[in-house]
Chains A and B, each alone.
Chain A
């Protein structure tokens, strides 16, 4: 596990808490959210973006280009990013896609 040392600053958050709250409330199980919990989720999301970006940057050998491929590779590789697997799939070529289709057709025959 790589260490994570975010800049602390004055603990202020830049993501809008109202929006985060709205996303949280869109989950059917959510009843109410304490102020501390909302702060933690908002701040954690900021940390998450920072951490994710740093992981991509390190994994690509500090390349000057941060690309979708770099992101998809990290998501497929890292355990803690597992929850994003369906959302950030690796890109495949059309040829690879055709092969997958063919395989599927074959297995559907049985």
Chain B
């Protein structure tokens, strides 16, 4: 739940960064414009939510699916976002998968060296990586 009213706004600093990245260098954005654009972005999220919700409800689903959001884009006259969105998700998933595989591979290599650790290393998340390394260090000394 939102604790403070500002929790329902997108962070101004990050929106400011997107604005800056979308413009050629040297373009000045007034403070007033920046604040209004950040607010507009928050309203966009709500508008998006409401349109996606409508589609999910019409299909008798309680979970908003990715497809609902894409459908909402069309309803909102932002069809132009649909293809870039799908392309982004594809790249994003691919990158995440590669990252995961790289971590798993490193773990596998480590556990190959120490067969007694296999069980421990195989099903642990990324956070424990450092811990494992520390343990390895202790054992070798």
Question: A-side interface residues toward B, CB under 8 Å?
Answer: 1, 3-6, 8-16, 19-20, 22-27, 29-34, 36-37, 39-41, 43-54, 56-57, 63-68, 70-71, 75, 79-80, 83-84, 87-88
Contact = CB atoms under 8 A, between A and B. Distances in A.
B68 to A, nearest CB: 6
B59 interface: no
A31 B80 contact: no
A84 B95 contact: no
B63 A14 contact: no
Interface hub of B22, B41, B78, B89 (most chain A Cβ within 10 A)? B22
Which 7 residue pairs are nearest across A and B when measured between Cβ atoms?
A11-B92, A36-B66, A11-B91, A80-B77, A40-B69, A4-B80, A50-B22
B33 A44 contact: no
B116 interface: no
A81 B7 CA distance: 24
Interface residues of B, number: 64
Nearest to A28: B53
23 contacts: A4-B84, A12-B95, A16-B14, A23-B8, A27-B46, A32-B63, A37-B65, A37-B68, A39-B92, A40-B66, A41-B48, A47-B78, A49-B40, A51-B81, A63-B27, A64-B26, A64-B27, A65-B30, A67-B30, A68-B36, A71-B36, A83-B47, A83-B76
B89 A68 contact: no
A36 B89 contact: yes
